[in-house]
Structure formats: structure tokens, C-alpha cells
Structure 1
Amino acid sequence: MAGPAHVGSDAVTLAYLASGLGAVAGLVLGLTGAGGGILALPLLMFGLGLSIPQAAPIALLAVGLSALLGAVIGLRQRIVRYRAAALIGACGIATAPLGVWLSHRLPAVPLAACFVAVQTWVSVRLWRGADPSGRPLAQCPCRLDRSTGQLHWTTSCAQALAGTGALAGVLSGLLGVGGGFVIVPALRRYTDLEMNSVVATSLAVIALVALATGGATMASGVGNIQLALPFATGSAAGLLLGRRMAPRVSGAALQKVFAVTGFAAAVAVLARSHIFG
């Protein structure tokens, strides 16, 4: 039987490992405004041996806290479109419980298959969109009023952003992801915002949805707080580094690297889950 000193040493080692893994997820989140959650899940699964239901609340809490830090920075820089973030976030919070409900009722293999499908879809979209063209500005339902610095709201704009939030919320609850991989492409497609504003607004939405969902799940007793805290601390540090590095990194190259990494993670989860027998 392991003595108290050995047990304590193992706990410290796990805490350091969780912190390092969190830093990787936070770095990606800070650089792109997306991808932190979708990468956090396989990091927790393979790095710490957790299942998807065990890893999801930890990933959500960590990504949510990191995104909140990034959103505060964006608010100080006046590049967060807070009304858009509030609408997307409110819709995400409303639908996230459906995702949580599904995550606790789906068997392990279908849940892993769902994650693999989402991860593969995200990777393909990132690779194909590495040289972003987006939607022609004339067709953007959400246009920025240059005189006020605010979005010009229309019915089609509100519908597009609300639908984005609803989808991001379900996926957040189901897979423990922040939803940035849905939010960032949607903001680039439906608005004419600059990329720095897209990233900052996405971080604000992720903070709202992930903290509400992850906090509620952790409060219900699901999730390991001893692993969640160092993972969240590392994630916050990684985000600060990512936000500092972002202006110096090629967006197209970064998207391709993340696309390849994401696809590799999907293949690894596929192999571990024995989805095809």
C-alpha cells in the first residue's frame, strides 16, 4: 500500500501535469479565440486518463475562466461587441443543459463518435478556411456602423447570432467545449468585424456559456476540483501568452497547424474508443 508521502507526491505530479496540459489549451484559445475546449478534452482524456463525462466539466471550467480573462482584456480595448456576445451567450446558456442531459445518457462509444465527428468537421473547416474569404460584405446580415462602432441590428442578424449560440450551447454541454469553433466562423460569416474583434467577442461568449455550464456541473458533484484548479490556472497562463503572441503569428499557418492537430486528436480518440469494434 502506498504511504501518505507517495500519495502526496502523485497528487503533486498530477497537478503539475494538469497545469501543463491546461497551458496548451489556453495557448490555442488565446491565439485563435477558439479550439481551447475542443483540444482540452483529448488532453484530459489522454494526459490524465479521464472519460469524456469526467473531462467535460473540467475543460469547461478552465476554458471559461481563461476566456473570461481574454474577454476582460478585449473589453478594455473596446473590441468586444458585448450586445452580440450577450445574445449568443444567453442562447448558449439556455441550450447547454440539453447537451449535459445527453452526455449523461449516451453510451461511451456514441459519445466518443460524436466528439470525433465534431473534431473532424472543425479540422476540415479550419484547413479549408485558412485563407479566409468569409461571406461577401454585401451579404453580411450584421454590419458594423462605423460612426458608432456598434453592429446594426436586423431580424436576420439576430436570428443568425441566436442560432449560433443555441448550437454552441448544446455542444458545450455535450462535449465540454467552449463553442468557439462554432462562434468564430459564424461571426466571420455573419458580420464584417475585424478579426481581433471576432476573437474578443468569441471569448466573451465562451466565458458566459462555459462558466455557467461548467460551474453548474462542478457544483452538482461531477468533476474533480483537484484537477480542475491547476488545469484552469495553466489555461489562464497559456491564454495570456497566446494573446501576446497573436499579433506576431500568421493566422493562416496557425489554422492549418491546429487543423492537423485536431484531426490527429480525433483519430486518437477514435482508436481508443474502439468505435468500429
Structure 2
Amino acid sequence: MSTITTQDGTEIFYKDWGPKDAQPIMFHHGWPLSSDDWDSQMLFFYNQGFRVVAHDRRGHGRSAQVDFGHDMDHYASDAAAVVEHLDLRNAIHIGHSTGGGEVAAYVARYGIPQGRVAKAILVASVPPIMLDTERYPDGLPMSVFDGLRAAQAANRSAFFREVADSSFYGFNRPGAKVIPAVADNWWRQGMMGSMLAHYQGIKAFSETDQTDDLKAMSVPTLVLQGDDDQLVPYKHAAELQAQLLPDAQLKIYPGYSHGMLTVDADELNADMLAFIRG
């Protein structure tokens, strides 16, 4: 396995495929998953001639199950450690859900200051903030996130099974094409990770105000989300991101779910490739 060790001693697993002199694309996964959630994209972009990189966030997948650092600051610094270890330059950074928050934090705080980023893509991403706050009063109430913590603490396996089988991919919608293997893979990835990392990560993805990160992302950024996203409301996410980003392109997909990168991969991959090459 390929790993690096961060300055605080955390071992981070990563994948690195393709020509080392090709333009790199780095993928940042969502909660509570792993770099495996990017299989469709990594293979597609590898076959298009790109160098593709993805890592497992600390406490997730095959990275170390440490009991500290489960916050957006550490997520960004861990991503920066992988980038610097591999010396990725002129890179495209693509993040889904919590990974979109990680991309915003990395690009704003490390990527742009170090001159390493060409473009970014945010897919069904959590910034600027999911929680209902004075600054963003249309967010979700704290009771939603307390409910996630309670369900996970009561029976993480059953909770993950329910999410994968229903709202994540829209499998609970009338007439939906249900793909059991996709839900199985979601559950598998979740159960590989640390209960503590997943529990504490809820605070990271719901309560971190990333307004300043979005405003600092001066590179061209593509914002993608489905209007039937049952987990991250698009009007409080993608639409606000497009308003705050200095150079944004926004596309909302009618009827698409939070997990559209997997169940609608062909369309998403084509749109991302067009943006990258445009």
C-alpha cells in the first residue's frame, strides 16, 4: 500500500495511477467513505491520459484510525501533505460532499498560495455551511446532525445500511432503479473506517463555515449538484457556492441524487472532462 505520514504522525493511504508527467487530478471523497468511491472517475480519467490521485481521509478507509484531527483544518493539511509528497502541480481538485469542503479548504489555504492548482470541481458539496446559523438562516437545524450522531452511536452498521439503501442514491424514490451492489459498496466503505472519525466528522461537515475559503478560490471552479439531493440541499449549497466563488460555473441536474457521481457517472464524467479541457 502507498502511504505517507503527516507531521502529526498520521498515516494516510493514497492511490496514484497514470503517467507522472501528465496533468494530475486529485479526488477528495465524502463522509464516511474512502477513495474507492471514486472508482468510476479514476478509471475514466486514467483512460483519458490524466494522472489520477485519491487518498483516504484520516480515520477513513485504509488510513490510520487516529483519535484526533477530525476537522476541516486537518483534512486540508492532510490533502496538502499528499500533494506535496507527490509534487502535484497544475492540478485539478475534485471533491464530493464533505470532500468538497476539503477541496475548498485545501485550494484556498494551500493550493493557490503554493501555485499548485489549475481548477476545482465541487460536487454535491457541503460549503459554505450546512447548519442553520445567523449568517445562513436557511440551513438545517442542529437536531438533524444530532440525529445522525445518535443513529450512528446506536448501531452504525444498521444506520449506514439505511442511508445506502435509501436517500444517498435516491433509491427510495418511486420508480428508482435500485442497484443493491452500489449500496453494498457504500456500506463496505463506511464500515472500513473508524467509528470515532465518522462520529466527530459530522461536526466537521456540518458546522464549519467555509465562506472565506470559497471567496479565496480564485481558480475556475465547476459546481455540480442534483436538485433531488436529499442529504445536502442544493439551494443552500451549490447555489450559494456559485454566488461566493470568484470564477464559478454552475450546473444543477434535474432529479439527480447526492450519489449521482456513481449512478449517473457517464454524464458527470463527460461534463467534468469538458470543463477540465475547456
TM-score, normalised relative to structure 1: 0.28
RCO higher in structure (CA 8 A, sep ≥6): 1
Question: Which is richer in strand?
Answer: 2
TM-score, normalised relative to structure 2: 0.28
